[in-house]
């Protein structure tokens, strides 16, 4: 804020410096907190904004503080990225939302909801909901209308030395954070023995959140809860990453590919009349269901032969680092720039016209 005021006073602001993005989500607070547990996507959103020269201001998740910050630079604020719950709360708060009776409030169209999962998280709908995956490509539900913001794993991964395949033990990493994942309905291998039919050690980093040890995990060496450095090291020491159905849309497969570890992606549902149509697949990681060997092996659930054949192929066909193109930093920056510079007001006006034509004018007051 000090740098912005100084450059405006001296008439020497750099490109984009007078365009403000307010970050009002706990995700961004952790990105600048030295002692906080950080998520890579939060950090790289922030870095991408700063590298493109935008002024980023942090506001607590509480809307009262957000409004006070917005009122200092209302004409310079391009967008506000916040939690969906906060956007909904602001929308019905006369002290927060801009209305004819509250002209100093925040226009609804400037608020964008950050939402990791599918579906809408904003009063104006999917088109104001930012998602980490391209749901328009991988979803047939209403999530396909969300805005694809994505994230980048490139720099974090490239800072991790890759282990040459000749130095890795004959082992595969099982993607499971909790023992309870093996008893969920979407556990992909309930009819498959997890004892490999060839020489291979299975490892995982799990916490036991069940009352008893699972017999299913008896063949897996549990490395327990690890910090980020330990996790990357153990993942990079493996020759394949085997998904089991959960966790859903985890970033780990992207990290694995970047460290030269192929991913076995379970297909949980498919069209029985058109089983090879990937558009109709529901995978553990839908964002990777269109990728092909030797990087990603898509295997239908409970297919014993398919699973172990895929693992065998992954072992026999090692890969170099592979970063999915949409996960590069440059790709993220182009999407972030599009979101910041988009004419959100015009789109909101179009939405208003649609709602009025359908007999609803509930958003009329929040467009101006």
What is the reported pLDDT for 356? 76
User: How large is the average pLDDT for residues 65-73?
Assistant: 94
Q: Would the pLDDT of 304 be above 60?
A: yes
In angstroms, the CA 339 to CA 277 distance is 32
In the CATH scheme, what architecture does the domain 154-323 have?
3-Layer(aba) Sandwich (3.40)
Pick 285 or 365 by higher pLDDT.
285
Q: Would the pLDDT of 130 be above 90?
A: yes
Question: Where does the pLDDT of residue 239 fall: very low under 50, low under 70, confident under 90, or very high at 90 and above?
Answer: very high
Q: Would the pLDDT of 281 be above 80?
A: yes
* Residue located via tokens 């547990």: 37
User: How large is the average pLDDT for residues 208-217?
Assistant: 80
- Tokens representing residue 198 in the block: 């060839």
- Are the C-beta atoms of 336 and 52 separated by less than 8 Å? yes
Q: Would the pLDDT of 315 be above 80?
A: yes
In angstroms, the CA 245 to CA 269 distance is 11
User: How large is the average pLDDT for residues 163-187?
Assistant: 95
Secondary structure (3-state) at 86: helix
Q: Would the pLDDT of 324 be above 60?
A: yes
Treating both helix axes as pointing N-terminal to C-terminal, what angle do 40-51 and 329-341 enclose, rounded to 10 degrees? 70
Could you report the per-residue pLDDT of 342-354, keeping only the tens digit for each?
A: 999 999 999 888 8
- Pinpoint the alpha helices (H) of the chain: 2-10, 26-31, 40-51, 63-72, 84-91, 135-138, 154-158, 228-236, 252-258, 304-316, 329-341, 344-357
Could you report the per-residue pLDDT of 22-67, keeping only the tens digit for each?
A: 999 877 765 565 555 545 455 667 888 999 999 999 987 679 999 9
- Are the C-beta atoms of 323 and 257 separated by less than 8 Å? yes
Average pLDDT, the chain: 90
Pick 214 or 345 by higher pLDDT.
345
Secondary structure (3-state) at 225: coil
Q: Would the pLDDT of 368 be above 60?
A: no
Residue intervals of the chain classified under CATH 3.40.50 are 2-152+334-366, 154-323
Burial of 330 (0-12, 13-18, 19+ CB in 10 A): exposed
Instruction: End-to-end CA distance of the chain: give it in Å, rounded.
Output: 26
Residues 6+ apart with CB under 8 A from 177: 205, 206, 207, 247
Treating both helix axes as pointing N-terminal to C-terminal, what angle do 84-91 and 63-72 enclose, rounded to 10 degrees? 80
Q: Please, what is the Cα angle at 104 between 102 and 110, to 5 degrees?
A: 105
Question: Where does the pLDDT of residue 117 fall: very low under 50, low under 70, confident under 90, or very high at 90 and above?
Answer: confident
What is the reported pLDDT for 249? 87
The CATH code for residues 2-152+334-366 is: 3.40.50
Q: Which H or E element spans position 20?
A: strand 20-24
What is the reported pLDDT for 116? 80
């Amino acid at each position: 804020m000090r740098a912005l005021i100084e450059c405006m006073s001296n008439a020497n602001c750099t490109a984009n410096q007078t365009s403000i993005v307010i970050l009002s989500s706990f995700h961004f607070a952790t990105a600048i907190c030295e002692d906080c547990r950080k998520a890579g996507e939060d950090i790289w959103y922030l870095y991408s904004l700063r590298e493109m020269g935008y002024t980023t201001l942090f506001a607590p998740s509480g809307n009262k503080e957000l409004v006070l910050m917005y009122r200092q630079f209302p004409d310079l604020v391009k967008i506000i990225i916040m939690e969906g719950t906060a956007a909904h709360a602001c929308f019905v708060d006369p002290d927060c939302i801009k209305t004819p009776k509250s002209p100093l409030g925040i226009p609804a169209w400037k608020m964008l909801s950050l939402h990791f999962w599918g579906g809408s998280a904003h009063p104006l709908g999917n088109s104001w909901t930012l998602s980490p995956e391209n749901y328009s490509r991988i979803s047939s539900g209403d999530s396909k209308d969300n805005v694809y913001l994505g994230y980048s794993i490139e720099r974090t991964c490239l800072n991790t030395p890759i282990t040459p395949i000749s130095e890795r033990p004959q082992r595969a990493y099982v993607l499971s954070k909790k023992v309870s994942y093996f008893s969920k309905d979407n556990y992909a291998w309930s009819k498959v023995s997890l004892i490999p039919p060839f020489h291979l050690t299975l490892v995982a980093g799990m916490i036991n959140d069940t009352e008893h040890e699972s017999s299913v995990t008896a063949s897996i060496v549990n490395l327990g809860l690890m910090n980020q450095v330990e996790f990357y090291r153990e993942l990079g020491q493996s020759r394949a990453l085997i998904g089991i159905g959960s966790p859903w849309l985890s970033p780990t497969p992207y990290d694995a590919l970047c460290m030269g570890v192929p991913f076995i992606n379970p297909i949980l549902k498919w069209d029985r009349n058109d089983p090879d149509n990937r558009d109709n697949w529901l995978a553990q990681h839908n964002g990777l269901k269109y990728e092909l060997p030797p990087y990603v092996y898509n295997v239908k659930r409970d297919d014993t032969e398919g699973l172990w054949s895929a693992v065998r192929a992954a072992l026999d066909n090692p890969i170099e680092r592979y970063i999915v193109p949409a996960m590069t930093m440059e790709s993220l920056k182009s999407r972030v720039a599009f979101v910041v510079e988009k004419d959100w007001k015009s789109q909101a006006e179009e939405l208003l016209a649609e709602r009025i034509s359908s007999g609803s004018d509930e958003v009329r007051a929040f467009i101006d």
